[in-house]
A and B are shown apart, each in its own frame.
Chain A
Amino acid sequence: MTKNIGIYICSGCQIGNSIDTNKLCDRMSGELNPVVMHSHKALCSPDGVNLIQKDIAEKNIDACLVAACGTGVKDDAFRFDNGVLTERVNIRELVAWSMDPLCEDTDMAADDYLRMGFAGLDSTSITTPFILDEISEEILVVGGGVSGLSAAIEGAEAGYRIHLIEKNERLGGWASKWKKQIPFDEPFEDLIDPVVTDLIKRVEENELITVYLKSGIEKIDGQPGEFVVKLNGSSIKVGSIVTAAGWRPYKPDSKDFYGLGVIPNVITSVELEEKVSAGKLPKVESVLFIQCAGSRDLEHLSYCSSICCGISLKQAKYYRDEHPDAIIYILYKDIRTIGFLEEFYKEVQDDPNIIFIKGEFETIQQTGDSVEVIVQDKLLGEQLTLNVEQVVLATGMVPNGTDDLKLGYRLGEGLPELKYEFPDSHFICFPYETRRTGIYAAGTVRAPMDIPSSMDDAGGAMLKAIQTIEASKRGEAVHPRSGDQSYPELYLERCTDCKRCTEECPFGTYDETSSGTPVVYPNRCRRCGICVGSCPERVISFADYSINIISEKIKAVNIPDEFDEKPRVLVFVCENDAMPALEMAAREKLSINPYVRVISVRCLGSINRVWISDALSHGFDGILQIGCKPGDNYQCHFIHGSELTEQRSEIMEETLSTMMLEPERIMTKFVEITDYKGIIDHIDEYMEEIELIGPNPFKDI
């Protein structure tokens, strides 16, 4: 489809001081031959916007190339009605503010960016959203513990039909086995009755909630908006899923674990809780609670289970409320009663029969009727002997994992885990973002947490589940490219069933047919474009992001010949971190080398080898890819885009060697969004390296 493209160049914001925009118009209107081309002194002003809108109305402009500031600034001014494509060319930050004013190199850069924008716009098509014919607005909640019950209630109260499944005979989970729980709020004096009883009642009374007891999932297929859940022979259709599969107490493999299983009077905190609920709290004169029994221990659980300090304080109170003379010892490393829980700690502390010992456990043995525990104390520096009748181990929690979801996904039955079986991806900024769109983890399956936190957590996860349904109704992506209506379209005739896309997609968008052909589920997709980068056959494209679009941009750049001594380097920057960093550098008045041409990509992982070979055969002297940090503390919003880039470097080197080019002609660097000085340094260093290697021999061909 041919487009009626209008080009609009802004000379405001000192752009005009650097680039003679009238001359730019003259040069480009002949070359690009748009329907209209204007220069304006302030394109974002009402007058400038009117100019564009008038053209849209009168000259049927359906694609606008706005050469002004970059995206992120003045977005509202340049957002036109549906049906009009807009491409922003950032000549303000990337050219005018960061290159020498009014000189040949700067003009060449401006020209190229206009060419690239034009080529990209010309090859972009209008996006039509993918919307399922039938979207289920019901939600599956897995697990009938505190988190699952809370999620179900909150979802139903927001008006959604909920299917709550629980593998046991009754609802309530672990929390229903506790006799009492720690108070939520002031005053922190007395233990309160478990809230789970009330939650169960509310679930049972709610007409929008269907409970399935003694039920396990056999399989889940489909995608957000139309998950098909098979359980107990029947099947239900849901739009999204909250998994609150909960936790289990830590059980050590080793025999040598604080005398557990060897000395009869050594029990775990869960066992104690069960005894208390059964009304069989042992009548003993002395009890020792050993904190972090298993947690904070590299040989067992290396994380802190977060709840054990509170639990032991509560259990100490159990004993004290029943036995007025019992002496309770609490052996701790740190008392971690964060926030208001400190008040509960103080409350329990106030009991003279409770002895707090900061120290490290050393040995335990049975001596006659009592248990002798030796402890290295950290308050006096003494070795202490404690003779007690009962030892309670605060053993901590292990997540149940999510494999019971039995997802029929190519990439596995559960949610991918980052560490210690906790299914999350961006646990600081976006804690709910799992890597399976529409399936959210809540409560202790996500991270160790106590009852009030689990209840809050359930609400958050439920909101995300509802949101996925609403987004699928609009045919929009969810975080991080929220609202994006493009989706992967596959030209399967060319597919070789190599399975790269199905393996590399971080979000499990693709399943496979038995022969290995990808089956795409657009609603699982988060629009990172990693599949675009993975496909050697150029099968996968988005309406506004494809091999072709970027290739056209690359080829649009004018490459001066070798004797001009004006090298050209193509810089791919990730739109999430590297691009904002580069723009910030320009705002901070750092210079960008005028020989580089920057192309923003959705993710480094979306860079296809074709672009590399296109760029090199087009005559670029080198290619620099700049993205987010990979590794354990990754900052890639698409989980492993940057990591893939490193993994793919072999393929890239192969591409280079088949072209008989030096491996240094392609380089990858990582920056943080705030590292605007670093990104300039990376570019400058790479330019020096390219100068040393010399011009690309393909230049003249």
Chain B
Amino acid sequence: MLDLRPDIEFKKELERISGAPLNTCMQCGTCSVVCNLSPDVKPFPRKEMVYAGWGMSDKLIGNPDVWLCHQCGDCSTHCPRGVNPADVLSATRQLTYRKYAMPLFMGKLLGKPGLLPIAILIPVLIIAGIIFAAGTLKIPEGPVNYSLFFPHAWLNASFSVITLLSYLLACFGFGRFWKDMNIHHSGTGPKMGLFRSFWGVKNDIFAHSRFKKCEENSSRKVSHFLVFYGFILLLLVTIFAIYAAITEKYPLALTNPFKIMGNLSSLMLFTGLGIMIYNRIVAKPGSERSTYTDWLLLGSMFLLTASGVIVEMARFLDWSLAYYLYFFHLVCVWFVIIYLPYTKFGHIIYRTIAMTYAFSGRRK
């Protein structure tokens, strides 16, 4: 027995973000059929369109199927009513970041374009504060040396702590997400163990095997693959850089394998992001809707990568603006890494959780 109490505000918000005329859906099921990712039993996104149309926010948000969707857009292309289910699921994911944000205002802060200045101001002030505390808040003289501006120990320590704090808090949200899925979509069969379930979805994550099934936007797989691995490599390089900074070998020589790897991964990121941006602007502007959340992540990642490269060049070329660029770069790092649970970047966590959850219920 389901007590139907439609949350019209949620429905309107969903319509606003997705731009999809939710109600125009006539429940034909075309979307479920054309989706190659959708399972045979209780397939999506047809039933999600019911939840959406009925304003059932809990059923929709606490729903692992929303994350099995990789937004290929096949459903939207074939939808006879022009409803664009792919965008509805995408909008649902955005509302998920917002709902489980911990603290809650972080979700709003990064979900609404009007609050962007504040979202920028926060890292600017905090970073400036830390540098001030370190006593280096002035542009150093002589050849560019970033550690003169922001001592590495201060940088590494403060960023690590803040990141850790942000992620720890976020974990409460992730937990609630898991719990909600259990309430609203537990299914009937016995659940598999957590590790076994995660092991089960590793190919989907690391080999992008679900992505391969997209028909409509096949280039998504390539671009996501490049960004995904570019980012992971860069993360490894960064960790090594922190290690190097501690062991006083920093900055690294250009011929250092890690440095080479770093530059290579930047290239991968650039290419991947370039394709993504191109696809959103030029190639298929109609097939998927680009929202603020999409642009926020794409933009911050792009600026992060770009500023990283420029900052590196500025050091070699001794640019006078190097320190300002370095500061900007750090703000970008903040946006991508520290804000991660509250932005679209959070999908790496939510999707992993949801896919694992789905797998644990033997839903493929």
Same complex origin of A and B: yes
Q: For B50, give its contact among A327, A349, A380 (CB under 8 Å).
A: A380
Determine whether A386 belongs to the interface, using a CB cutoff of 8 Å to chain B: yes
Query: Given the complex of chains A and B, what is the CA–CA distance between A221 and B98 in angstroms?
Result: 79
Among B1-15, those with CB < 8 Å from A are 1-6, 8, 11-12, 15
Residues of B near A279 (CB, < 8 A) are none
Give the secondary structure class of A's interface: strand
Chain A: which residue is nearest B14 at the CB level? Answer: A352
Residues of A near B12 (CB, < 8 A) are 352
Give the secondary structure class of B's interface: mixed
* Chain A min CB distance to B158 (Å): 46
Chain B: which residue is nearest A375 at the CB level? Answer: B4
Residues of B near A327 (CB, < 8 A) are 6, 8
CB pair B27–A352 under 8 Å, yes or no, is: no
* Chain A min CB distance to B52 (Å): 10
Residues of B near A335 (CB, < 8 A) are 26
CB pair B4–A350 under 8 Å, yes or no, is: no
Determine whether A354 belongs to the interface, using a CB cutoff of 8 Å to chain B: yes
Determine whether A302 belongs to the interface, using a CB cutoff of 8 Å to chain B: no
CB pair B23–A385 under 8 Å, yes or no, is: no
Among A335-389, those with CB < 8 Å from B are 335, 346, 349-358, 374, 377, 379-380, 382-387
Select the residue from B4, B8, B81 with max chain A CB neighbours within 10 A: B4
Residues of B near A380 (CB, < 8 A) are 2, 47, 50
Interface residues of A (CB under 8 A from B): 325, 327, 329, 335, 346, 349-358, 374, 377, 379-380, 382-387
Query: Given the complex of chains A and B, what is the CA–CA distance between A351 and B11 in angstroms?
Result: 11
CB pair B23–A384 under 8 Å, yes or no, is: no
Interface residues of B (CB under 8 A from A): 1-6, 8, 11-12, 15, 21-24, 26-27, 47, 50, 53-55, 81
Residues of A near B11 (CB, < 8 A) are 352
Could you list 7 examples of A-B contacts with CB < 8 Å? Answer: A329-B4, A346-B81, A354-B23, A356-B53, A377-B2, A383-B1, A387-B3
Chain B: which residue is nearest A347 at the CB level? Answer: B24
* Chain B min CB distance to A188 (Å): 13
CB pair A349–B21 under 8 Å, yes or no, is: yes
CB pair A382–B23 under 8 Å, yes or no, is: no
Residues of A near B27 (CB, < 8 A) are 358, 379
Chain A: which residue is nearest B83 at the CB level? Answer: A349
Q: A350-B24, A352-B12 are in contact. Are A386 and B4 (CB under 8 A)?
A: yes
* Chain A min CB distance to B153 (Å): 54
CB-based closest 6 A-B pairs = A349-B23, A382-B2, A385-B3, A352-B11, A379-B50, A384-B4
Residues of B near A329 (CB, < 8 A) are 4
* Chain A min CB distance to B284 (Å): 25
Q: For B15, give its contact among A325, A352, A379 (CB under 8 Å).
A: A352
Residues of A near B47 (CB, < 8 A) are 379-380
CB pair A352–B22 under 8 Å, yes or no, is: yes
Query: Given the complex of chains A and B, what is the CA–CA distance between A87 and B81 in angstroms?
Result: 62
Residues of B near A387 (CB, < 8 A) are 3, 5
CB pair A352–B23 under 8 Å, yes or no, is: yes
Chain A: which residue is nearest B11 at the CB level? Answer: A352
CB pair A355–B2 under 8 Å, yes or no, is: no
Query: Given the complex of chains A and B, what is the CA–CA distance between A49 and B277 in angstroms?
Result: 84
Chain B: which residue is nearest A386 at the CB level? Answer: B4
* Chain B min CB distance to A454 (Å): 27
Query: Given the complex of chains A and B, what is the CA–CA distance between A377 and B8 in angstroms?
Result: 20
* Chain A min CB distance to B96 (Å): 20
Chain B: which residue is nearest A373 at the CB level? Answer: B4
Chain A: which residue is nearest B9 at the CB level? Answer: A352
* Chain A min CB distance to B182 (Å): 18
Query: Given the complex of chains A and B, what is the CA–CA distance between A358 and B25 in angstroms?
Result: 12
Query: Given the complex of chains A and B, what is the CA–CA distance between A356 and B6 in angstroms?
Result: 11
CB pair A385–B4 under 8 Å, yes or no, is: yes
